[in-house]
Structure 1
Amino acid sequence: MIFAYNPKHVSDTLMVITADDKSMKQATERKGNIARLTTEDGRVIGWNFFDISNEMTIEGVGQVQLTDEQFAQLNELVQKAGFEDVLEKDNTPKFVVGLVKTCVPHEDSDHLSVTEIEVDNGEVLQIVCGAANIRKGLKVVVAKPGAMMPDGLLIWPGELRGVESFGMVCSAKELNLANAPMKRGILELPQDAVVGSAFAIGQ
Protein backbone atom coordinates (compact mmCIF):
# COMPACT_ATOMS: atom_id res chain seq x y z
CA MET A 1 0.00 0.00 0.00
CA ILE A 2 1.46 3.34 -1.11
CA PHE A 3 0.46 6.70 0.35
CA ALA A 4 1.16 9.73 -1.86
CA TYR A 5 0.53 13.39 -1.07
CA ASN A 6 1.58 16.48 -3.04
CA PRO A 7 -0.69 19.45 -2.25
CA LYS A 8 1.38 21.97 -4.25
CA HIS A 9 1.44 20.12 -7.57
CA VAL A 10 -1.61 17.84 -7.33
CA SER A 11 -4.20 18.89 -4.74
CA ASP A 12 -5.07 18.45 -1.09
CA THR A 13 -5.69 14.78 -1.83
CA LEU A 14 -4.17 11.74 -0.16
CA MET A 15 -3.80 9.00 -2.77
CA VAL A 16 -3.72 5.44 -1.48
CA ILE A 17 -2.47 2.96 -4.08
CA THR A 18 -3.16 -0.67 -3.27
CA ALA A 19 -2.37 -2.50 -6.53
CA ASP A 20 -0.94 -2.08 -10.01
CA ASP A 21 -3.39 -0.37 -12.35
CA LYS A 22 -1.39 -0.47 -15.59
CA SER A 23 -3.28 -1.36 -18.76
CA MET A 24 -6.57 -1.65 -16.90
CA LYS A 25 -9.81 0.27 -17.29
CA GLN A 26 -10.81 1.91 -14.05
CA ALA A 27 -14.13 2.66 -12.44
CA THR A 28 -14.50 5.32 -9.77
CA GLU A 29 -17.16 5.48 -7.09
CA ARG A 30 -17.22 8.65 -5.00
CA LYS A 31 -19.03 9.21 -1.75
CA GLY A 32 -18.46 12.60 -0.19
CA ASN A 33 -14.73 13.31 -0.08
CA ILE A 34 -13.69 9.72 -0.70
CA ALA A 35 -13.36 7.92 -4.04
CA ARG A 36 -12.72 4.22 -4.52
CA LEU A 37 -10.92 3.09 -7.69
CA THR A 38 -11.60 -0.39 -9.01
CA THR A 39 -10.87 -2.49 -12.07
CA GLU A 40 -13.59 -3.80 -14.36
CA ASP A 41 -13.68 -7.05 -12.41
CA GLY A 42 -14.21 -5.20 -9.13
CA ARG A 43 -10.69 -5.37 -7.69
CA VAL A 44 -9.85 -2.31 -5.56
CA ILE A 45 -6.67 -0.62 -6.75
CA GLY A 46 -6.74 2.64 -4.84
CA TRP A 47 -8.47 5.38 -2.90
CA ASN A 48 -8.53 9.17 -3.06
CA PHE A 49 -9.18 11.16 0.11
CA PHE A 50 -10.03 14.72 -0.97
CA ASP A 51 -9.49 17.78 1.26
CA ILE A 52 -7.54 15.53 3.61
CA SER A 53 -6.05 18.47 5.54
CA ASN A 54 -9.51 19.00 7.05
CA GLU A 55 -9.09 15.63 8.75
CA MET A 56 -5.38 15.28 9.54
CA THR A 57 -1.95 16.83 9.09
CA ILE A 58 0.28 14.83 6.76
CA GLU A 59 4.03 15.28 7.01
CA GLY A 60 6.15 15.17 3.87
CA VAL A 61 5.61 15.30 0.12
CA GLY A 62 5.54 12.46 -2.40
CA GLN A 63 5.41 9.05 -0.78
CA VAL A 64 4.46 9.66 2.84
CA GLN A 65 4.10 7.55 5.97
CA LEU A 66 1.03 7.56 8.17
CA THR A 67 0.92 6.86 11.87
CA ASP A 68 -1.22 4.00 13.16
CA GLU A 69 -3.67 6.62 14.47
CA GLN A 70 -3.93 8.29 11.06
CA PHE A 71 -4.42 4.93 9.36
CA ALA A 72 -7.23 4.09 11.79
CA GLN A 73 -8.74 7.48 11.01
CA LEU A 74 -8.74 6.66 7.28
CA ASN A 75 -10.73 3.52 7.98
CA GLU A 76 -13.19 5.57 10.03
CA LEU A 77 -13.60 7.97 7.10
CA VAL A 78 -14.17 5.07 4.71
CA GLN A 79 -16.87 3.63 6.97
CA LYS A 80 -18.56 6.98 7.56
CA ALA A 81 -18.68 7.60 3.81
CA GLY A 82 -20.67 4.39 3.40
CA PHE A 83 -18.06 1.99 2.03
CA GLU A 84 -17.79 -1.46 3.61
CA ASP A 85 -14.09 -1.90 2.77
CA VAL A 86 -11.37 -2.09 5.43
CA LEU A 87 -7.90 -0.84 4.53
CA GLU A 88 -5.08 -3.10 5.69
CA LYS A 89 -1.75 -1.45 6.39
CA ASP A 90 1.55 -3.02 5.36
CA ASN A 91 4.36 -1.81 7.62
CA THR A 92 7.14 -3.82 5.98
CA PRO A 93 9.91 -1.68 4.41
CA LYS A 94 9.87 -1.47 0.62
CA PHE A 95 13.51 -0.40 0.19
CA VAL A 96 15.80 -3.02 1.68
CA VAL A 97 19.34 -4.36 1.56
CA GLY A 98 19.58 -7.41 -0.70
CA LEU A 99 22.23 -10.03 -1.43
CA VAL A 100 22.66 -11.18 -5.03
CA LYS A 101 22.58 -14.98 -4.80
CA THR A 102 22.71 -15.72 -8.54
CA CYS A 103 23.28 -13.63 -11.65
CA VAL A 104 23.05 -15.00 -15.20
CA PRO A 105 22.73 -13.31 -18.61
CA HIS A 106 19.23 -12.86 -19.98
CA GLU A 107 18.76 -15.26 -22.89
CA ASP A 108 17.08 -12.61 -25.05
CA SER A 109 19.24 -9.58 -24.29
CA ASP A 110 22.86 -8.53 -24.59
CA HIS A 111 22.76 -6.25 -21.55
CA LEU A 112 20.16 -7.61 -19.10
CA SER A 113 20.87 -10.04 -16.28
CA VAL A 114 18.46 -12.31 -14.42
CA THR A 115 19.22 -12.32 -10.71
CA GLU A 116 17.98 -14.03 -7.58
CA ILE A 117 18.29 -11.66 -4.63
CA GLU A 118 17.73 -12.51 -0.97
CA VAL A 119 15.84 -9.67 0.68
CA ASP A 120 14.95 -10.98 4.14
CA ASN A 121 14.81 -14.20 6.18
CA GLY A 122 15.41 -16.40 3.18
CA GLU A 123 12.90 -14.59 0.94
CA VAL A 124 14.37 -14.48 -2.57
CA LEU A 125 13.10 -12.30 -5.43
CA GLN A 126 13.83 -12.81 -9.11
CA ILE A 127 14.76 -9.42 -10.57
CA VAL A 128 15.85 -8.55 -14.09
CA CYS A 129 18.59 -5.91 -13.97
CA GLY A 130 20.26 -3.89 -16.70
CA ALA A 131 23.25 -2.57 -14.74
CA ALA A 132 26.67 -3.60 -15.99
CA ASN A 133 28.06 -3.91 -12.45
CA ILE A 134 25.46 -6.40 -11.14
CA ARG A 135 27.12 -9.64 -10.01
CA LYS A 136 26.81 -12.55 -7.61
CA GLY A 137 27.76 -11.76 -4.01
CA LEU A 138 27.00 -8.05 -4.23
CA LYS A 139 24.97 -6.27 -1.55
CA VAL A 140 22.48 -3.90 -3.19
CA VAL A 141 19.39 -1.77 -2.54
CA VAL A 142 16.19 -3.45 -3.69
CA ALA A 143 12.92 -1.62 -4.29
CA LYS A 144 10.32 -4.29 -3.59
CA PRO A 145 6.87 -4.41 -5.20
CA GLY A 146 4.78 -1.63 -3.69
CA ALA A 147 7.66 0.86 -3.49
CA MET A 148 7.48 4.40 -4.83
CA MET A 149 10.73 5.83 -6.18
CA PRO A 150 11.62 9.46 -5.38
CA ASP A 151 10.61 10.45 -8.93
CA GLY A 152 7.15 8.93 -8.45
CA LEU A 153 7.76 5.67 -10.32
CA LEU A 154 5.79 2.80 -8.77
CA ILE A 155 7.40 -0.62 -8.55
CA TRP A 156 5.19 -3.62 -9.33
CA PRO A 157 5.86 -7.14 -10.61
CA GLY A 158 6.34 -7.25 -14.36
CA GLU A 159 8.26 -8.80 -17.25
CA LEU A 160 11.38 -7.77 -19.15
CA ARG A 161 11.93 -9.56 -22.44
CA GLY A 162 9.62 -12.37 -21.33
CA VAL A 163 11.22 -12.94 -17.91
CA GLU A 164 9.30 -12.16 -14.73
CA SER A 165 10.80 -9.51 -12.45
CA PHE A 166 9.68 -8.79 -8.89
CA GLY A 167 11.34 -5.52 -7.97
CA MET A 168 14.16 -3.20 -8.97
CA VAL A 169 17.84 -2.97 -8.09
CA CYS A 170 18.59 0.72 -7.53
CA SER A 171 21.34 3.19 -8.32
CA ALA A 172 22.30 6.01 -5.98
CA LYS A 173 20.84 8.53 -8.44
CA GLU A 174 17.51 6.66 -8.62
CA LEU A 175 17.39 6.71 -4.81
CA ASN A 176 18.02 10.48 -4.87
CA LEU A 177 20.94 10.13 -2.48
CA ALA A 178 23.07 13.16 -1.69
CA ASN A 179 26.33 13.31 -3.69
CA ALA A 180 25.21 10.39 -5.87
CA PRO A 181 27.95 9.53 -8.39
CA MET A 182 27.20 10.41 -12.00
CA LYS A 183 28.56 7.11 -13.30
CA ARG A 184 26.00 4.57 -14.37
CA GLY A 185 25.37 1.42 -12.38
CA ILE A 186 23.63 0.20 -9.28
CA LEU A 187 24.68 1.25 -5.79
CA GLU A 188 27.15 -1.24 -4.28
CA LEU A 189 26.76 -1.53 -0.51
CA PRO A 190 29.42 -2.56 2.02
CA GLN A 191 29.58 -6.28 2.71
CA ASP A 192 28.63 -5.70 6.35
CA ALA A 193 25.25 -4.29 5.31
CA VAL A 194 22.49 -6.37 6.89
CA VAL A 195 20.29 -8.23 4.42
CA GLY A 196 16.64 -7.30 4.86
CA SER A 197 17.30 -4.09 6.76
CA ALA A 198 15.43 -0.98 5.64
CA PHE A 199 17.28 1.51 3.46
CA ALA A 200 16.49 5.22 3.75
CA ILE A 201 16.05 6.98 0.41
CA GLY A 202 16.07 10.66 -0.55
CA GLN A 203 12.90 12.58 -1.38
Structure 2
Amino acid sequence: MNVFYNFHGIGDTLIIFMKDIEKSVLTYEKKGDAVRIFDTNTNETAGFNLFNVSSYFKVEGNGNIELNEELLQNINDSLEKNGFTTKLEADLSPKFVVGFITEKEKHPNADKLSICKVNVGEEQLQIVCGAPNVEAGQKVVVAKVGAVMPSGMVIKDAELRGVPSSGMICSARELELPNAPQEKGILVLEGDDEIGETFTF
Protein backbone atom coordinates (compact mmCIF):
# COMPACT_ATOMS: atom_id res chain seq x y z
CA MET A 1 0.00 0.00 0.00
CA ASN A 2 1.34 3.43 -0.98
CA VAL A 3 0.07 6.85 0.06
CA PHE A 4 0.49 10.09 -1.92
CA TYR A 5 -0.32 13.71 -1.02
CA ASN A 6 0.47 16.89 -2.96
CA PHE A 7 -1.62 19.85 -1.83
CA HIS A 8 -0.31 22.26 -4.48
CA GLY A 9 -0.55 19.71 -7.30
CA ILE A 10 -3.92 18.03 -6.69
CA GLY A 11 -5.44 19.78 -3.67
CA ASP A 12 -6.33 18.44 -0.24
CA THR A 13 -6.69 14.82 -1.38
CA LEU A 14 -4.95 11.73 -0.04
CA ILE A 15 -4.42 9.03 -2.68
CA ILE A 16 -4.16 5.50 -1.31
CA PHE A 17 -2.82 3.02 -3.87
CA MET A 18 -3.33 -0.64 -2.99
CA LYS A 19 -3.24 -2.76 -6.15
CA ASP A 20 -2.33 -2.30 -9.79
CA ILE A 21 -5.49 -3.17 -11.75
CA GLU A 22 -6.20 -2.70 -15.47
CA LYS A 23 -7.87 0.71 -15.87
CA SER A 24 -10.48 -0.61 -18.32
CA VAL A 25 -12.18 -2.69 -15.58
CA LEU A 26 -12.14 -0.03 -12.85
CA THR A 27 -15.16 1.72 -11.44
CA TYR A 28 -15.74 3.71 -8.25
CA GLU A 29 -18.06 4.14 -5.29
CA LYS A 30 -18.31 7.49 -3.49
CA LYS A 31 -19.39 7.98 0.11
CA GLY A 32 -19.00 11.48 1.51
CA ASP A 33 -15.38 12.53 1.16
CA ALA A 34 -14.13 9.02 0.33
CA VAL A 35 -14.03 7.22 -3.01
CA ARG A 36 -13.25 3.52 -3.40
CA ILE A 37 -11.80 2.48 -6.78
CA PHE A 38 -12.29 -1.21 -7.54
CA ASP A 39 -12.37 -3.95 -10.20
CA THR A 40 -15.90 -4.39 -11.56
CA ASN A 41 -15.29 -8.12 -12.21
CA THR A 42 -13.57 -9.25 -9.00
CA ASN A 43 -14.54 -6.45 -6.57
CA GLU A 44 -10.85 -6.14 -5.65
CA THR A 45 -9.98 -2.70 -4.31
CA ALA A 46 -7.37 -0.77 -6.30
CA GLY A 47 -7.32 2.13 -3.85
CA PHE A 48 -9.11 5.02 -2.19
CA ASN A 49 -9.17 8.80 -2.59
CA LEU A 50 -9.88 10.78 0.56
CA PHE A 51 -10.94 14.36 -0.19
CA ASN A 52 -10.66 17.26 2.30
CA VAL A 53 -8.22 15.08 4.22
CA SER A 54 -6.98 17.93 6.46
CA SER A 55 -10.45 18.09 8.02
CA TYR A 56 -9.84 14.54 9.33
CA PHE A 57 -6.13 14.59 10.24
CA LYS A 58 -2.90 16.40 9.46
CA VAL A 59 -0.75 14.93 6.69
CA GLU A 60 2.98 15.32 7.31
CA GLY A 61 5.04 15.68 4.14
CA ASN A 62 4.51 16.00 0.43
CA GLY A 63 4.65 13.46 -2.40
CA ASN A 64 4.95 9.83 -1.33
CA ILE A 65 4.08 9.71 2.37
CA GLU A 66 5.76 7.19 4.68
CA LEU A 67 3.14 4.90 6.13
CA ASN A 68 3.16 4.23 9.87
CA GLU A 69 0.68 2.85 12.40
CA GLU A 70 -0.73 6.28 13.28
CA LEU A 71 -1.34 7.24 9.64
CA LEU A 72 -2.91 3.84 8.90
CA GLN A 73 -5.24 4.25 11.88
CA ASN A 74 -6.16 7.79 10.79
CA ILE A 75 -6.98 6.55 7.27
CA ASN A 76 -9.14 3.70 8.59
CA ASP A 77 -10.97 6.02 10.99
CA SER A 78 -11.63 8.53 8.19
CA LEU A 79 -12.93 5.86 5.81
CA GLU A 80 -15.22 4.53 8.54
CA LYS A 81 -16.60 8.04 9.20
CA ASN A 82 -17.53 8.17 5.51
CA GLY A 83 -19.33 4.82 5.57
CA PHE A 84 -16.65 2.34 4.44
CA THR A 85 -16.23 -0.63 6.78
CA THR A 86 -13.10 -2.09 5.12
CA LYS A 87 -10.09 -2.05 7.45
CA LEU A 88 -6.92 -1.41 5.45
CA GLU A 89 -3.83 -3.38 6.40
CA ALA A 90 -0.27 -2.68 5.39
CA ASP A 91 3.23 -4.09 5.76
CA LEU A 92 4.94 -1.42 7.89
CA SER A 93 8.36 -3.07 7.93
CA PRO A 94 11.30 -0.98 6.57
CA LYS A 95 11.48 -0.98 2.78
CA PHE A 96 15.06 0.34 2.39
CA VAL A 97 17.50 -1.93 4.19
CA VAL A 98 21.16 -2.87 4.28
CA GLY A 99 21.80 -6.08 2.37
CA PHE A 100 24.78 -8.38 1.82
CA ILE A 101 25.32 -10.06 -1.54
CA THR A 102 26.12 -13.70 -0.79
CA GLU A 103 26.14 -14.99 -4.39
CA LYS A 104 26.34 -13.59 -7.91
CA GLU A 105 25.94 -15.50 -11.14
CA LYS A 106 25.56 -14.50 -14.76
CA HIS A 107 22.03 -14.23 -16.13
CA PRO A 108 21.51 -17.06 -18.67
CA ASN A 109 19.58 -14.85 -21.11
CA ALA A 110 21.23 -11.43 -20.80
CA ASP A 111 24.90 -10.53 -20.98
CA LYS A 112 24.66 -7.40 -18.85
CA LEU A 113 22.48 -8.81 -16.06
CA SER A 114 23.52 -10.71 -12.93
CA ILE A 115 21.43 -12.86 -10.59
CA CYS A 116 22.25 -12.02 -6.98
CA LYS A 117 21.32 -13.69 -3.72
CA VAL A 118 21.05 -10.95 -1.11
CA ASN A 119 20.80 -11.42 2.66
CA VAL A 120 18.57 -8.68 4.10
CA GLY A 121 18.45 -9.97 7.67
CA GLU A 122 15.34 -12.08 8.14
CA GLU A 123 15.29 -13.41 4.58
CA GLN A 124 17.37 -13.90 1.46
CA LEU A 125 16.14 -12.27 -1.74
CA GLN A 126 16.88 -13.07 -5.37
CA ILE A 127 17.50 -9.82 -7.23
CA VAL A 128 18.41 -9.40 -10.88
CA CYS A 129 20.86 -6.52 -11.20
CA GLY A 130 22.33 -4.75 -14.23
CA ALA A 131 25.04 -2.74 -12.46
CA PRO A 132 28.55 -3.33 -13.84
CA ASN A 133 30.19 -3.15 -10.39
CA VAL A 134 27.96 -5.64 -8.51
CA GLU A 135 29.92 -8.45 -6.80
CA ALA A 136 29.44 -11.08 -4.11
CA GLY A 137 30.69 -9.92 -0.72
CA GLN A 138 29.38 -6.36 -1.03
CA LYS A 139 27.22 -4.57 1.51
CA VAL A 140 24.53 -2.68 -0.41
CA VAL A 141 21.26 -0.77 -0.12
CA VAL A 142 18.22 -2.86 -1.05
CA ALA A 143 14.81 -1.44 -1.93
CA LYS A 144 12.39 -4.22 -1.01
CA VAL A 145 9.08 -4.91 -2.74
CA GLY A 146 6.69 -2.11 -1.80
CA ALA A 147 9.39 0.55 -1.54
CA VAL A 148 8.72 3.87 -3.22
CA MET A 149 11.84 5.34 -4.85
CA PRO A 150 12.47 9.11 -4.70
CA SER A 151 11.46 9.21 -8.38
CA GLY A 152 8.02 7.84 -7.43
CA MET A 153 8.66 4.38 -8.92
CA VAL A 154 7.17 1.57 -6.83
CA ILE A 155 9.31 -1.57 -6.45
CA LYS A 156 7.36 -4.71 -7.36
CA ASP A 157 8.07 -8.39 -7.83
CA ALA A 158 9.23 -8.77 -11.42
CA GLU A 159 10.61 -11.22 -13.93
CA LEU A 160 13.59 -10.06 -15.95
CA ARG A 161 14.33 -12.15 -19.05
CA GLY A 162 12.64 -15.15 -17.44
CA VAL A 163 14.26 -14.87 -14.00
CA PRO A 164 12.20 -13.77 -10.95
CA SER A 165 13.50 -10.71 -9.09
CA SER A 166 12.26 -9.40 -5.72
CA GLY A 167 13.60 -5.95 -4.97
CA MET A 168 16.34 -3.69 -6.28
CA ILE A 169 19.97 -3.10 -5.37
CA CYS A 170 20.23 0.69 -5.42
CA SER A 171 22.71 3.21 -6.78
CA ALA A 172 23.39 6.52 -5.04
CA ARG A 173 21.77 8.30 -7.98
CA GLU A 174 18.55 6.25 -7.70
CA LEU A 175 18.43 7.16 -3.99
CA GLU A 176 19.04 10.82 -4.97
CA LEU A 177 21.89 11.10 -2.48
CA PRO A 178 23.90 14.34 -2.50
CA ASN A 179 26.93 14.29 -4.84
CA ALA A 180 25.86 10.93 -6.30
CA PRO A 181 28.13 9.81 -9.17
CA GLN A 182 26.43 9.90 -12.57
CA GLU A 183 28.08 6.78 -13.96
CA LYS A 184 26.26 3.47 -13.68
CA GLY A 185 26.90 1.39 -10.58
CA ILE A 186 25.37 0.39 -7.28
CA LEU A 187 26.20 2.09 -3.99
CA VAL A 188 28.61 -0.10 -2.01
CA LEU A 189 28.49 0.57 1.73
CA GLU A 190 31.87 0.73 3.48
CA GLY A 191 30.75 1.38 7.09
CA ASP A 192 29.62 -0.77 10.01
CA ASP A 193 25.98 -0.97 8.91
CA GLU A 194 24.22 -4.08 10.21
CA ILE A 195 22.66 -6.40 7.64
CA GLY A 196 18.89 -5.97 7.69
CA GLU A 197 18.89 -2.59 9.42
CA THR A 198 16.93 0.32 7.98
CA PHE A 199 18.84 2.50 5.53
CA THR A 200 17.87 6.15 6.02
CA PHE A 201 18.57 8.83 3.42
**TM-score, scaled to structure 1:** 0.90
Contact 1:103 1:113 in 2 (8 A): yes
Which stretches of structure 1, 4 residues or longer, exceed 4 Å deviation after superposition?
none
Q: One-letter code of the match for 1:165?
A: S
* Alignment: residue pair count: 200
Q: 1:116 to 1:52 in 2, by over 3 A?
A: same
For residues 132-184 of structure 1, what are the alpha-carbon distances to aligned partners after superposition, in whole Å with 9 as ceiling and x for unaligned?
Answer: 11111111111111111101101111111111111111110110111111221
Which sits farther off after the overlay, 138-147 or 33-42?
Answer: 33-42
Equivalent in the alignment of 1:57: 58
How far did 1:107 drift?
Answer: 0.6
In the TM superposition, what are the counterparts of 1:109-148 in structure 2 within 5 Å?
109-121=110-122, 123-148=123-148
Residue 156, structure 1, aligned to residue 156, structure 2: yes
Q: Tell me: CA distance 1:166–1:77, structure 2 relative to 1, closer, same or farther (3 Å).
A: same
Q: Which runs of 5+ in 2 are unaligned?
A: none
1:55-114 CA-to-partner distances (Å, cap 9, x unmatched) read 222111122135534432211221222222101233211011111111111111010111
Q: In 1, are the aligned partners of 2:56 and 2:78 still within 8 Å (CA)?
A: no
> Which amino acid counterpart does residue 111 of structure 1 have in structure 2?
K
How has the CA–CA distance of structure 1 residues 119 and 19 changed in structure 2, closer, same or farther, with 3 Å as cutoff? farther
Q: Which moved more, 1:67-76 or 1:107-116?
A: 67-76
Tell me how far apart the structure 1 counterparts of residues 104 and 24 of structure 2 sit (CA, whole Å).
33
The structural deviation recorded for 1:22 is: 6.4
- 5+ long unaligned stretches in structure 1: none
Identity, % of aligned positions? 42
Alignment check: 8 A CA contact 1:100 1:115 kept: yes
